[in-house]
Structure 1
Amino acid sequence: MNRRVLSVTSEYVPLVKTGGLADVAGALPSALAEHDWDMRTLLPAYPGLIARLGDVTQVWADDALFGGQARVLMGRLDAATVLLLNAPHLYDRDGGPYGNPHDFADNPQRFAALSWVAAQIAQSGTSDGWTPEIVHCHDWQAGFAPAYMALCLPSAARSVITIHNIAFKGEAPAAMLGSLRLPIEAFNSDSLEYWGNLSSLKAGLVHADAITTVSPTYAEELMRPQYGFGLEGLLKHRAADFHGILNGVDETQWNPETDPHIARHFNKSTLAHKQHNRTALMAEFGLVACDGPCAIVVSRLTDQKGMDLLVEAIPDFLQAGGCLAVLGSGDPHIEQDLKSLAQSNPGRVGLRIGYDEALSHRMFAGGDLVLVPSRFEPCGLTQLYGLRYGCVPVVALTGGLADTVINATPMALQDKSATGIQFHPVDALAFGQALRRAVSLHQNKKTWTAVQKKGMSQVLGWGASAASYADLYESLIV
């Protein structure tokens, strides 16, 4: 009989996505099924999601969940079982999962409710007789679940929390302790208290049976003050329970041989067909023919992602013959800087503010370089998509970028192991130098093609990572 795990998340591909968390949550159920784990995924029923599931069955109910009636509705999506927390007073609103342009004021209650329901299901199961052995919580949005399981709703289930981005800690005023159903006696530095307030992420890190993050290097970085955002001491204290497990990609969704969104299918043996996608991409962004590489950026437009460095470093790249296509949204000042860059370089810089999943596929298929100058990057999926599509990554030496891209040093080029270009320190000077290396590499077509093909040969799926999660789960319930 399959073992049972409840995944608790605020995002899930293909239902709702703002970042890589959704891709991971969407990929895990099928990946873990190969290791005999039956994963059900619990997430909020944002507007329109129930209709996406079609036939649903009610498997849990509460008439007084943080201010209103709530039901958990179970349905199938492809081969996965999805549990939608239907609580209209919390989730039936416009503005995305968290609010737009600002966070919803009641986000602490909205995601505490998600965590409370997860802990209730861990304790009593669903009405169809399914009870999880593991509750796998993702980021601050599910961070209170391990705390509820430890402090309020004890069960035989064990808990795991995964840090996707520690910069978001789910902070709330200490005065909300009672309204969030948290015991006042646990408000201390060893449990719920975080610099005088509450942090759902800290609560999860303290009370979960195991902690994971999305790459081995990011796990090491998080124990240092420059990356840990005030939680590095806690993570060092829990080092024996802290595991870096690298993310994978869904190789069925991201496959240049079958991708329905791209102009021409290709693989490493038919790499010349990528040129058709490059031509189509440049036309879509209004870019003129250029002798140098066509670089793409698919990113949140924030300082964390190094987009301010992009604005500073890219003019020399354009002068050297390159061109740039950008898709993303984020900080208004960076959006404005990129608009000005595009206006100053017509035919050389194309910009789309927002997000378009199909367009992102076309960009990886047509781009020569994908630029990821992040100041910190827990894992990153962008560079992995680039590798899959022969779109050579130029990345900062940090987090999962360091774990997944093999730098094109002279030695790595000689032994044909290079898959991209890394730079350090993470500043505009080093980024600009990396871009110059990329232009030079692109000019040597034989070497360039070898780097592309090596990247496309990498094993990037969920097989090894899912095995690591399965091993971790098993270790907790032995």
Structure 2
Amino acid sequence: MTQAAVRVRRKETSRQGESVPGYAIPADPAEPRSSTGPSVAPMSAHRRHVLFVTTEIADFIKAGGLGDVSAALPRALKPTYDVRVLMPGYRQLLSSGRPIVTVARLPAVHDLPACEIGRLLCEDGLVIYVVLCPSLYDREGNAYGDELGEGWDDNDIRFARLAMAAAAIVNDPALLDWQVDLLHLNDWATGLTAGYVRWLGKRYVPSVYTIHNLAYQGVFPVERLSALGIPASAFHIDGVEFHGQLSFMKAGLSYASQVTTVSSNYAHEITTPAFGCGLEGLLAKRALEGRLSGLLNGIDDRWDPRTDPHLSPNFGINDWHGKRANTQRVRRLFGLAPSSGPLFAVVSRLVAQKGLDLTAQVAETIVRRGGQLVVIGRGEYVIEQSLIEMAARYPGQVGVNIGFDEGEARQIYAGSDFLLMPSRFEPCGLSQLYAQRFGSLPVAHRTGGLADTIQDGINGLLFDEMTLESYRTTVSRAFDLFRATDLFYAMRRAAMAGRLHWRQAVVPYRSLYAELLSEATVRSGDTVELR
């Protein structure tokens, strides 16, 4: 095994602290209009105010797809709504070099320490409100845990503080001299926000709660209720109770005005026991109420192989010479032998959800048939070790990088022929969209957003059963396709041309916001009851 075949890089080296170029969503005169929901008013001085609460944004810190969505969606909405982001003051933001001006102070409440609200202005004008509490957020590691991936013991306090800050901004319009009209919350760590607004608020503010991954639910002991300022009366089946424990995610699902997730297929799947993670009953109820919908993610102008600065050379549709040059670059990067066979890739969190245990077994088929495989990512120790052992079995044919680098990931999308995504479940998935845009055909399990974004035999390959045999058969199809040159290049062209841009993906969000704001106008005189 060469030293280049397996590299371990524990520290994230993606562009943390830098402004991310290309997030501005240019006006598109051909942008489709939604066929349902209220019409959306054009940009004006009276845009409604939306507070977008998140724990990641790719400009500064990113653990997964939420970081990309949080960077792109608020910007895509800006022509219609005054969207501002609220997030924790992680070390990556504090050390970014961008000025943060303190605009408000919040006292300690229950076990949540006092904090300040800072205002950071991105180069393109996006406003980010930062919850400044160094004892909670100014740490090495990622948004949720230490450098080894272990979650922080005080994550309940860390994210309850974020949620309580959001509720304070909603409840006190004078706090920032900017009154919130609508909340958009994301994943488990922001779920308590909807509850705090319900328990503490005096006016109705509609909220959207987006599930990016139902498997991560923020479950803590019931004894933490008082410390977090959650009323005991909220601990019941229609509140925050989940099998005798407290669930942050269930607070979001129970109290938000509308629950969304990131693909229509996943929105259906999570109402079933197979994918509902114990919450399928509540989700089915919200679906029957018309309060659960699936809205696909998109990708933005950063994902363009013609202009991406990480590629050498850049290339476009039909420029297969440029594509092959990137393939050879990836082979050199991972210490692979020269080859004329297909190059398969994995760019992923290395967790059981992603089906990487099956990929480790499929590697033998790939190598035996003359292909090669490269893997980049980090995650569960057992998965990481199995992939390292896989690379050791096939020196010069399989390369593994335990770690993550944004530029290297983009090179792999550009250089690979096929991207392997045998996910057991996948709410939406962005990797397949990136790969398609860069001319790499996804080979994926037909689930969640993968089923919504990949057309088998047109812009990728799908298999129906989550079994080794079904996966291996589809990988064999990829080899046959690679050698059927005309069909392979036709599918590659279709993949590169058919991206879902945020210009299109943002339309149903605009309509949903308008519908909820219209409801809020009707309910503005209501008294909000505690439940």
TM (normalized to structure 2)?
Answer: 0.86
Structure 1 residue runs without a partner (length 5+)? 409-417
Deviation at 1:459, TM superposition (A): 3.3
Structure 2 contact 112–227 (Cα < 8 Å) conserved: no
Is 1:439 the equivalent of 2:479? yes
Deviation at 1:223, TM superposition (A): 0.3
The amino acid across from 1:281 in the alignment is V
Deviation at 1:128, TM superposition (A): 4.3
Deviation at 1:175, TM superposition (A): 0.8
The amino acid across from 1:294 in the alignment is L
Deviation at 1:129, TM superposition (A): 1.5
Give secondary structure in 1 for the equivalent of 2:370: coil
Give secondary structure in 2 for the equivalent of 1:6: strand
Distance in 2 separating the partners of 1:208 and 1:467:
21
The amino acid across from 1:18 in the alignment is A
Is 1:293 the equivalent of 2:342? yes
The amino acid across from 1:355 in the alignment is F
- In 2 relative to 1, CA 224–53 (structure 1 residues): closer, same or farther, beyond 3 Å? farther
- In 2 relative to 1, CA 203–127 (structure 1 residues): closer, same or farther, beyond 3 Å? closer
- Which of 497, 500, 505 is 1:460 aligned to? 500
Distance in 2 separating the partners of 1:110 and 1:146:
16
Deviation per CA, 1:323-366: give whole Å up to 9, x if none.
00100111212211111111111110011001110100100111
Q: Percent identity?
A: 38
Distance in 2 separating the partners of 1:218 and 1:176:
31
Partner of 2:96: 52
Is 1:351 the equivalent of 2:400? yes
- Which of 97, 103, 107 is 2:143 aligned to? 97
The amino acid across from 2:102 in the alignment is Q
Partner of 1:394: 443
The amino acid across from 2:96 in the alignment is R
Structure 2 contact 104–176 (Cα < 8 Å) conserved: no
Is 1:373 the equivalent of 2:417? no
Structure 2 contact 184–208 (Cα < 8 Å) conserved: yes
Distance in 1 separating the partners of 2:173 and 2:429:
34
Structure 2 contact 184–210 (Cα < 8 Å) conserved: yes
Structure 2 contact 433–499 (Cα < 8 Å) conserved: no
- Which of 171, 182, 207 is 1:134 aligned to? 182
Partner of 2:512: 472
Q: How does 1:250-399 map to 2 (within 5 A)?
A: 250=300, 252-399=301-448
Partner of 2:31: none
The amino acid across from 2:64 in the alignment is G
Distance in 1 separating the partners of 2:175 and 2:277:
40
Deviation at 1:5, TM superposition (A): 0.6
- Which of 171, 175, 180 is 1:123 aligned to? 171
Give secondary structure in 1 for the equivalent of 2:400: strand
Distance in 1 separating the partners of 2:163 and 2:112:
15
- Which of 69, 72, 76 is 2:114 aligned to? 69
Structure 1 contact 133–156 (Cα < 8 Å) conserved: no
Deviation at 1:55, TM superposition (A): 2.4
Which stretch of structure 1 is more off in the superposition, 329-338 or 315-324?
329-338
Structure 1 contact 301–334 (Cα < 8 Å) conserved: yes
Deviation at 1:138, TM superposition (A): 0.3
Distance in 2 separating the partners of 1:298 and 1:316:
19
The amino acid across from 1:352 in the alignment is N
Structure 1 contact 370–386 (Cα < 8 Å) conserved: yes
Give secondary structure in 1 for the equivalent of 2:293: strand
Deviation per CA, 1:163-217: give whole Å up to 9, x if none.
0000011111111111111111111111111111100100110000000000000
Is 1:158 the equivalent of 2:158? no
Partner of 1:411: none
- In 2 relative to 1, CA 476–393 (structure 1 residues): closer, same or farther, beyond 3 Å? same
The amino acid across from 1:43 in the alignment is M
Deviation at 1:104, TM superposition (A): 1.1
Is 1:10 the equivalent of 2:55? yes
Deviation at 1:60, TM superposition (A): 2.0
- In 2 relative to 1, CA 67–182 (structure 1 residues): closer, same or farther, beyond 3 Å? closer
- In 2 relative to 1, CA 169–154 (structure 1 residues): closer, same or farther, beyond 3 Å? farther
Deviation at 1:161, TM superposition (A): 0.3
- In 2 relative to 1, CA 126–136 (structure 1 residues): closer, same or farther, beyond 3 Å? farther
Distance in 1 separating the partners of 2:329 and 2:311:
9
- Structure with a larger share of its residues in helix: 1
Structure 2 contact 335–399 (Cα < 8 Å) conserved: yes
Deviation at 1:126, TM superposition (A): 5.7
Structure 1 contact 53–75 (Cα < 8 Å) conserved: no
Deviation at 1:272, TM superposition (A): 2.8
Deviation at 1:312, TM superposition (A): 1.1
Partner of 1:20: 65
Give secondary structure in 1 for the equivalent of 2:478: helix
Structure 1 contact 59–128 (Cα < 8 Å) conserved: yes
- In 2 relative to 1, CA 171–17 (structure 1 residues): closer, same or farther, beyond 3 Å? same
Which stretch of structure 1 is more off in the superposition, 148-157 or 305-314?
148-157
Distance in 2 separating the partners of 1:132 and 1:67:
23
Deviation at 1:445, TM superposition (A): 1.2
The amino acid across from 1:421 in the alignment is L
Structure 1 contact 90–110 (Cα < 8 Å) conserved: yes
- Which of 106, 129, 137 is 1:83 aligned to? 129
Structure with the bigger RCO (C-alpha within 8 Å, sep 6+) is 2
Q: RMSD value over aligned CA atoms?
A: 1.2
Give secondary structure in 2 for the equivalent of 1:268: coil
Structure 2 residue runs without a partner (length 5+)? 1-45, 519-531
Give secondary structure in 1 for the equivalent of 2:489: helix
Deviation at 1:455, TM superposition (A): 0.5
Distance in 2 separating the partners of 1:67 and 1:147:
16
Deviation at 1:67, TM superposition (A): 4.2
Q: How does 1:199-214 map to 2 (within 5 A)?
A: 199-214=247-262
